[in-house]
Structure formats: C-alpha cells, structure tokens
Amino acid sequence: MKTKKINSFQLYLHYVSINIRSMMQYKTSFLLTAIGQFLVSFNVFLGIFFMFQRFSHVKGFEYSEVVLCFSIILLEFSLAEMYARGFDAFPDMMKNGTFDRVLVRPRNEILQVLGSKFELTRIGRMLQAVVMFFYGITKSNVEWNVSKILTVIFMLIGGTALFTGIFLIYAALCFFTLDGLEFMNVLTDGAREYGKYPVSIYGKRMLQFTTFVVPYALVQYYPLLYILDKSTNRFYILLPLLAILFLIPCYLLWRFGIHKYTSSGS
Amino acid sequence: MKKYVSFFRLRFLMGLQYRTAALAGIVTQFAWGGMEILVFKAFYEADASAFPMSFSATASYIWMQQAFLAFFAAWMLENEIFDSIVNGNIAYELCRPLNIYHMWFSRSIANRLSRAVLRCFPILIVAAFLPKPYGLCMPKSLPHFLLFVITLLLGLMVTVSFCMLVYSLTFFTISPQGLRMLFTTSVEFFAGAVIPLPFFPETLQKIMELLPFAAMQNVALRIYSGSMSNEAMLKAIFLQLFWLFTLTAFGKKLCNIAEKRITVQGG
C-alpha cells in the first residue's frame, strides 16, 4: 500500500477539522461559550464607554481612538488565541504524559501541540473585535489610505505573532515548573485587558518596558500614532513586523525546554 | 448547626493548604492592581474635576478589591458542585441527613474566606507602604473601619447566596455553562468590578445601587475609603440585609423544589 506523506500545513488543517467536528457535537455548548466570550469582552468595552462619559480624553486620546486601539488588540489576541491556545492546555499534556506520545511521532512537536486544541469558540471575542473595529473606524475621522491600511494589517500580523510568542513561553516554562504559572496571565489576559488603552497612558517606564522587553508597544502604540496622524514617521508602519522577532527567543526557550524534558511518568 | 460549622472548618483548613497557589495569586493581583491604578491615574491627570472620589480613595478601593478578590469574584464558582449535579454524585450528598443549601452555603463561605485569608495580608501590607496617593490609606475612623468589616462580611454572604441561586438553577438546566456566563458577566459589570459604581453616570448609578449586585463589594470598599455619607451608608447596609434575606429565602425555596423533582440517572 502506498502511503502519502502530507505536508505540515495539510496536517494542521486536518487537526483543525477534527477539532471543529468534535466541537460541533455539542452545538449548544459551543454557542453558549461563544456568546460568553462575546459578553466578557463587551464588559471591557462598557467600561471604556462609561469612563468616557465622564472624561472627554485621556493623555491626548479620545474615545473613538481608544475604541480603535482596543478593537485591534482584541483582534490580535483572539486570532492568536484561536490557534495557539493549545499551548494553554500544555501543562495538562505535561502532567498526564500525553506529551510523550507527541514526542515519539515523526512530526514537529509544536505543530502537534497547536493541533491538540483549536478554539473556535473565540469567534465570539473576534466578532466583538470586528464590530468594535468598524465602530472605531466610523467614529474616528481617520482618512484611510494604502499605507494606513497596510499598517493595520501589519499590526494584526505582528500582534498575533507576539501573543503566540507569549503563549509559547507559557508552555515552555512548564518544562521547568511542571505547571502553568499563574503570573503569565498578566502578560496574556492582562495585556488584552490593559491594552485597551494606548500604552503611553501608563507612563514612560511602562512604555519603555513594552518597547524593549515585551514589545506590545510595537504592535499597539507606535503604529496607532501613525494611523491617527499623531506622528508622520513612516518607520512606524513597519514597526509591528519587528515584533515577530520576539518569536525567536520564545522558540529558543522552547527548544531548550525540550532538551531538558524528562517525562513525569504518568 | 454544629454539622455546618464543622463542614465550614473542614473546608477552611483545606483551603489553607494551597499556599504556593496563593503566592502566585498574590503576585498576579499586585500586577492587576498596579495597572488599574495607572489607568485611573491617567484619567485623573486628564480631568481631576470629573473624578467622583478622591484619588487616594480610588487607590484604596482598588487595593481592597484586589486583597479581597476571593470574597467577591463571581467566576470563583465551585466546580465540584456543578460536577456533582452534572455527573450525579449529588445522590451521595442527598443521602446525608443534611440540608444541601446550608451545606453548600457554609462550604462556599469557607472556601472564599480561606482564599482571602491567605492572600489579603501581603497585599494589604505592601499596599499600605506604597507612596501616598497610590497606596492604601488608613480607614477614615474607627467606626468606619468596623462598618467596613461588617459590610465586607455581609457582602460576602450576599455574593455566596447569589451563587447558590446559580447552583440551584443548574438542577433545572443540567448544563451550567450558559447560566454561569450570564451570571459572571452581569455580576462583574453591575457590582463595580469593571469600574467602580461612582464612575457611572448619575442616573444609572442610582438604579445600579438598588440592585443586589451593588450589595456585594461596592458597599464595603466605598465605606473603607470614606466616600459615602452617613445616610448613604445606612441605606446601603439596609439594602445588603434586604438582599441577603431575599436571596437566601428564594434560593432555599428553589433548592427545595429542585430536591423534590431530582432524578439521578444511575451510573
């Protein structure tokens, strides 16, 4: 019998389709979870909305500009979360020994971990982000042109890569601690939650931290300045792509973790 | 009564065992609290006159909120209870000569209390030593502090009795997911976990203060920072008692009905 070796991408798609099919066995549960995801981020939006009922601006940003910022970071996060949440379940994979099975298969282990979980329920959050995005666009008086549209696309690419990197770190740290570190929530959920405002409002030191250590500002603050005509620096268009470099140290940490890996044995 | 007290003791001591988890939680809560304060600082600098309470009162509100997160966090519902309803283990509980409502109530209180006891002190101590407007300030006066403690406990009980409604309703819906989400999101929003109630527009705030959600964290946190008038405090405490009474009465009734019509599918 002739066996056909499918390429990694096809394999991943196959994983995704298995995941989606299994999820569709519980349609009500899927729907409710998606609605829940929508509501949770809607709460965040309401928080912004009511704060701006009271205050007209914050550190030079208006309501519509903050909504735009919030929607883009939410979109980046939900995109990353949709396919990279497999890393989130990784502590369980470690503990119950499923990861050993992954290692003996002749395929890339990241691909398999990613394929273990595909969260279509995040579509609720994404829907929220898309709605907010259009709301933000119509509210703000941004004059869209090719370079600004490109900036948004780059932001989405860079931001998704950045969040993926953080999920990867979260999983890689499990090699050393055997358990998920709650503190990492600050970098994932926290970034989503507080990324609703442009990072500059948190002060200079936070801006430096998010520029050089964990580069949120590269996919949020700087390109936003360009879109909102607060800066004409064309370098800011490409800046989000620089955030992709963040994946390199994350990947190295993961490789290092795998080398050190000893099965927990269960 | 004795049975429930020992149930409470058991759960409380069990909760105290998870010290590493608590440490991780403390670090996380510090980060969240800090970020929250930076957000409010930015808004304060944008327009100080639009602030409904003083900045240091807001900071105290946030630190107290973080310290007693386990008291009021709506998402800290007990999975064990849901699981027992879904997978039928509830049958064992029903065999015991105990009232389910009281048992679950005392256990939820114990769980939340033990979590908070482990986590609150480090947060409170460090927050108290932070520089002036950003840290936790002293309570306004001794009576304020005593009222704070009383309303804090009342708020905890209101929260738990609300959770009890969700557990009881799960008997009817079987799958807890939908209810859970609706419950969690509405509590977060209406109780003042997203933004404190004083920051809402006035008319909306007046309506929100009457809802049971406002009887949870809102009262205690605002009394501590001294941003409530005597009259408002009295009204708020009265509302807390009212909601506590109504919610438990309703929950017990619901639980009774559920217990009567429950069918355990074997297994």
pLDDT of B52-102, one tens digit each? 888 999 999 999 999 999 899 888 888 888 888 888 888 888 888 888 899
Segment (H or E) for A29: helix A27-54
Q: Looking at the predicted structure, is the pLDDT value of residue B194 above 60?
A: yes
Given CB atoms, is B173 within the 8 Å cutoff of chain A? no
Q: What confidence tier does B124 reach under pLDDT thresholds 50, 70, 90?
A: very high
| Tens-place pLDDT, residues A90-109 | 888 887 788 888 888 888 88
Q: If you average pLDDT over every residue of chain A, what do you get? A: 86
* Residue B16 DSSP class: T
Average pLDDT in the A216-236 region? 90
Q: Is A181's CB within 8 Å of B24's CB?
A: yes
Kindly report the CA angle at B96 between B262 and B7, in degrees rounded to 5? 115
Is A18 touching B (CB cutoff 8 A)? Answer: no
pLDDT over 70, % of chain B: 99
Q: Does any CB of chain B come closer than 8 Å to the CB of residue A203?
A: yes
Q: Are B160 and B108 in contact (CB under 8 A)?
A: yes
Provide mean pLDDT across the span A145-165. Answer: 92
pLDDT grade for A46, boundaries at 50, 70 and 90: very high
- CA dist A197 and A190 (Å) reads 12
- pLDDT for residue B158: 95
Using alpha carbons, list the distances in angstroms from residue B220 to A14, A217, B57, B60, B96.
Answer: 53, 37, 13, 11, 36
Helices (H), chain B: 2-15, 19-46, 55-67, 69-72, 79-87, 90-95, 100-128, 142-173, 177-191, 202-210, 217-224, 230-261
pLDDT band at B266 (very low <50, low <70, confident <90, very high): low
**β strands within A106-212, DSSP E:** none
Cβ of A54 and B21 within 8 Å? no
CA distance B83 to B90: 9
**What are A3-23's pLDDT values in tens digits?**
667 788 888 888 888 888 888
- CB neighbours of B26 closer than 8 A, spacing ≥ 6? B119, B122, B123
The pLDDT assigned to A250 comes to 93
Determine which of A194, A207, A210, A216 to mutate to test the interface with B (most B C-beta atoms within 10 Å): A194
List phi, psi (to 5°) of A58.
Answer: -135, 120
Residues in A touching B41 (Cβ below 8 Å) = 203
pLDDT at residue B248, rounded to an integer: 95
Confidence of residue A174 (pLDDT cuts 50, 70, 90): confident
Residue B236 pLDDT greater than 80, yes or no? yes
**Count of C-beta atoms within a 10 Å radius of residue B195:** 21
Report chain B's mean pLDDT, rounded to a whole number: 88
A217 pLDDT more than 70: yes
Region A38-51 average pLDDT:
89
- In this prediction, residue A66 carries a pLDDT of 92
Whether residue A251 is predicted with pLDDT greater than 80 in this model: the reply is yes
pLDDT digits (tens, 9 = 90+) for A175-202: 887 776 777 888 888 888 888 999 999 9
Radius of gyration of chain A (CA): 20
Substitution target from A187, A202, A204, A206 for chain B, most B beta carbons within 10 A: A202
* Segment holding A58, helix H or strand E: strand A57-58
The per-residue pLDDT for A264 is 67
* Shortest Cα–Cα distance, B96 to chain A (Å): 32
Domain boundaries, chain B: 2-261
pLDDT, tens digit, 9 for 90 and up, residues B12-38: 888 888 777 788 888 888 889 999 999
Q: How far A193 CA sits from the closest chain B CA (Å)?
A: 10
Whole-number Å distance between alpha carbons of B85 and B215: 28
Among B71, B258, B267, B94, residue whose Cα is nearest residue B157: B71
Higher pLDDT, A19 or B264: A19
Strand-pairing partners, residue A112, are none
How far apart are alpha carbons A168 and A214 in whole angstroms?
13
Q: Do B189 and A46 touch (CB under 8 A)?
A: yes
pLDDT band for position B162 (cuts 50, 70, 90):
very high
- pLDDT value at residue B267: 52
What was the ipTM of the complex prediction? 0.85
User: What are the tokens at B108?
Assistant: 């939820």
pLDDT given at position A173:
86
Question: Which of A57-66, A139-148, B151-160, B255-264 has the largest mean confidence?
Answer: B151-160
Sign of the four-CA dihedral A112, A117, A123, A125? negative
What pLDDT is stored for residue A39 in this prediction? 85
Query: Closest partner residue to B177 among A33, A47, A190, by Cβ?
Result: A33
